[in-house]
Amino acid sequence: MYNRFQYISQGRTPEEHLSNCEEVLAAGGKWIQLRMKNFSDEQVEKTAIGFQSLCASFGATLIINDNVDLAKKINADGVHLGLTDMPVIKARLLLGQDKIIGGTANTLEDVIQRIDEGCNYIGLGPFRFTSTKEKLSPILGLEGYQSLIGKLDEEQRKTPIVAIGGIQLEDISSILATGISGIALSGILTNSSNTKEIVERIHTILYEPA
């Protein structure tokens, strides 16, 4: 219940969020997370419905960031929760067993907590500095990922872990070599003048044999 390549929406307006979402989907993206901070509830809900229509057209998965009530209201595919958001157990009760619940993590303790909570996947980061988040957790980098995955292996704990935070194309292969399952991207796609080319290169790295 996760995809190795996830796009986290970005935009200065709801219209930009929708336009950027459509570009990524048209380029081959299959997993979209709607993340709209500092917008009204009405704007977020209207945009989420637009995202849902687009995702249905392209056969893609729609995840709502933070807002469990909205995810339930529009019957989205799932929700992604930060460490200070609604507890995963409560979200699971509200959404049901068939919905996807992802959780943010920054430390080994966070990851173990997320595994114990029953998250379907974990977004681990930040890999490096990113302007997308206002309150940035300590940066992990390749060494942080290697160390954390190694400790999880020692404890025989397995769960899909997706790297997030300031990732560029040239980082992806090295990140995957640490044992990370996939990547979540935002700025590199939002700010690209050729989204299709970027998505094709990402798919090549993730899914084609070296």
Tell which residue, 167, 202, 190, 163, has the closest CA to residue 28: 202
Q: Is the pLDDT of residue 41 over 60?
A: yes
pLDDT at 207: 86
Quickly name the fold that domain 5-207 has.
TIM Barrel (3.20.20)
Three-class SS of residue 147?
Answer: helix
Give the pLDDT mean for 63-81: 98
For CA atoms 132, 30, 148, 36, the dihedral sign is positive
Distance CA 146, CA 140 (A): 9
Mean pLDDT of the chain: 94
pLDDT band at 138 (very low <50, low <70, confident <90, very high): confident
What CA–CA distance (Å, rounded) separates 146 from 178? 5
% of the chain exceeding 70 in pLDDT:
96
Buried b (16+ CB within 10 A) or exposed e, 160-172: bbbbbbbbeeebb
For the chain, domain boundaries: 5-207
Please, which pLDDT band fits residue 208 given cuts at 50, 70 and 90?
confident
Q: Is residue 167 pLDDT above 60, yes or no?
A: yes
> Which of 136, 132, 107 has the alpha carbon at shortest distance from 185?
132
State the pLDDT confidence band at 10, using cuts at 50, 70 and 90.
very high
| pLDDT > 60? residue 133 | no
Among the listed residues 52, 1, 10, the one whose alpha carbon sits nearest the alpha carbon of residue 164: 10
User: Looking at residues 182-192, what average pLDDT do you find?
Assistant: 94
SS3 assignment, position 102: strand
Q: How far apart are CA 72 and CA 156, in angstroms?
A: 33
Phi-psi region of 165 (alpha: psi -120 to 50; beta: other; left: phi over 0): left
